[in-house]
């Protein structure tokens, strides 16, 4: 997994001030959910370990409306295990809707 640097995450605020806050939150939530999936799976994508508990299986796009605007989140999916991470588990109330 490629991890974003602080500058890459915060660049929208540097470029656009507080108008860029929604993009920063979107990046932070997406990164946090990817890291949480790695912790639950006990492996990074494509890593082969004996302790692996399941497999990464892509993402589902969901949108939430926040105080700073709409956030397009990539919700991590898994195979061979139950992993129901949603933005509310990291402190966000949400109304999810499927993107078509």
What does R_g of the chain's alpha carbons equal in angstroms? 15
Per-residue pLDDT of the chain (100 residues; tens, 9 = 90+): 455 788 888 888 889 988 889 999 999 999 988 988 898 899 988 889 999 988 889 999 999 888 888 999 999 988 887 766 655 554 544 444 444 4
Token duo for residue 63:
């949108």
Output the pTM of the full model: 0.75
Instruction: Tell me the domain boundaries of the chain.
Output: 6-98
Task: Give the per-residue pLDDT at 5.
Answer: 82
82-88, long-range: CB < 8 A, 24+ apart: 83/37, 83/40, 83/41, 83/54, 85/33, 85/36, 85/37, 85/40, 87/29, 87/33, 87/62
């Amino acid at each position: 997994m490629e991890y974003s640097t602080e500058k890459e995450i915060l660049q929208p605020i540097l470029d656009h001030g507080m108008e860029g806050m929604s993009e920063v939150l979107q990046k932070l939530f997406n990164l946090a959910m990817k890291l949480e999936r790695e912790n639950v799976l006990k492996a990074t994508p494509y890593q082969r370990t004996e302790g692996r508990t399941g497999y990464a299986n892509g993402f589902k796009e969901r949108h939430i409306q926040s105080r700073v605007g709409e956030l397009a989140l990539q919700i991590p999916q898994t195979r061979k295990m139950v992993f129901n991470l949603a933005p509310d588990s990291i402190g966000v109330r949400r109304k999810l809707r499927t993107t078509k």
